[in-house]
Amino acid sequence: MNGVLDYLFDAASWTDEGGLLEQLVQQLLLTVTALVVAMAVSLPLALYLGRIGRFGFLAINVSNIGRAVPTFALLALLARFSWPGSAEFGPYGRAGLATLVALVLFALPPLITQSYVAMREVAPEAKEAARGMGMTGSQQFWRVELPLGLPLVMSGVRLALVQVWATATIAALVGGPGLGNVIRLGFANTDRRSEGIAGALLVAAIALLLEGAMALAQRAADPVPQTRSRARKQGLSPVPPTVGAAAESDG
């Protein structure tokens, strides 16, 4: 364990070419880019389908297929094809594009499922209250349905973020970027075993940090606890969550 700590706290381990800092930045860049692209592709469609209440089977089947396909197998195939291939891809490094495509596809299932379910689980009473206040369809969506469904949408983003971060380490197995290179090289050489363990610990630690940050963001996005908290501070009786949130949104 001393060797692991020595490696982690050695400045050269971070600043040398191909060191921890370079690999960490590449993996974070891969993770954030893949998540943003997956959200841009999946959220508008899933929210729309959930709102109109149609094609639920599509959301479920896409999620099931996405979970069934091994990400490493998909990445290996993508890296072998002429496109996206294993060439350098800007700041993402070697096989960066193949890794991004695989991670985006891996992030889609939780985003689609949770967003679809979020719209379907908005209480009918809240929708009825919004219509009774004279809201248009778009106002009802942006001011009532989306705020009430946002915590569940955020849970999908949270799950996708942690999964993509952890899965991005396998890019090293096809010559790609990320902390997986530190782990792979460390365990391939008995003299560098401490480096491999240090890389694995770093991946796990950052996964926990991302999980904690997203948990806080998910809690902050929940309008129901916020409504109850403000009511308690003002000495008011807590209002029913769905109707209260709708009325608050209108105000």
Give the tens place of pLDDT for each residue, 38-86: 999 999 999 999 998 877 777 777 777 767 778 888 888 888 888 888 8
DSSP per-residue codes, the chain: -HHHHHHHT-HHHHHSTTSHHHHHHHHHHHHHHHHHHHHHHHHHHHHHHHHHT--HHHHHHHHHHHHHS-HHHHHHHHHHSSSS-SSB-GGG-BTHHHHHHHHHHHHHHHHHHHHHHHHHTS-HHHHHHHHHTT--HHHHIIIIIHHHHHHHHHHHHHHHHHHHHHHGGGGGGGT--STHHHHHHHHHSGGGHHHHHHHHHHHHHHHHHHHHHHHHHHHHT-HHHHHHHHHHHTTPPPPPHHHHHHHHHH-
Average pLDDT over every residue of 170-182: 89
pLDDT at 245: 41
- Look at residue 251 and tell me whether its pLDDT is greater than 50: no
pLDDT at 225: 62
Please give the residue that has the higher pLDDT: either 137 or 160. Answer: 160
Q: Per residue in 109-129, pLDDT tens? A: 999 999 999 999 999 899 899
Domain ranges of the chain: 2-215
- Look at residue 219 and tell me whether its pLDDT is greater than 70: yes
**% of the chain exceeding 90 in pLDDT:** 47
Q: Indicate the fold that domain 2-215 takes in CATH.
A: MetI-like fold (1.10.3720)
pLDDT at 40: 97
pLDDT at 247: 37
Average pLDDT over every residue of 181-201: 89
pLDDT at 226: 55
Q: Per residue in 52-65, pLDDT tens? A: 887 777 777 777 77
pLDDT at 81: 86
- Look at residue 201 and tell me whether its pLDDT is greater than 50: yes
Q: Per residue in 223-242, pLDDT tens? A: 776 554 454 555 544 444 44
